[in-house]
Amino acid sequence: MSHTSKVIDGLHSQIDTLSTDLNETKAILAETKQKYSILQRRNETLVEQVSNAKHQAEVSEALLKRKERRVTDLENQLTDALSSNDTMKFESDNLKSRMNKLQEKENTMIAECERLQVAYDAVVSSQRD
């Protein structure tokens, strides 16, 4: 009987050890499930943050492209304005030159008119005499 008791005691001891191992494994499993749940929520949060960051990057890229197009448009407008300014300056210089020539011609005509007036007055005066 003693041999049977020893076997039963050994089996009870093994059952206790296995029960303890099972309880520890269940505790570890519960802790692992809890950590998994926490990591899953953290992962979802990170995925959402990455999605938001991608969206923000796309918006920023679109804004940058619009600003670059605006800069290009403004550069083209500046080039056009400078070209127009050069053209207007050239035309202005030509008009000033033409005006100076006309003023010189006018002064010459006034002097000629005054000379003719003096000659006319002299002719009239000699005619009276």
Mind listing the pLDDT tens digit for each residue in 26-73?
999 999 999 999 999 999 999 999 999 999 999 999 999 999 999 999
User: What is the pLDDT averaged over residues 114-121?
Assistant: 94
Output the pLDDT for position 129.
78
Q: What angle do CA 5, 18, 3 make, to 5 degrees?
A: 15
- Residue identified by tokens 């030159």 is 97
- Confidence check: pLDDT of 82 > 70: yes
3-state helix, strand, coil in the chain (%, to 5): 100, 0, 0
- Alpha carbons 107 and 98: distance in angstroms, whole number: 14
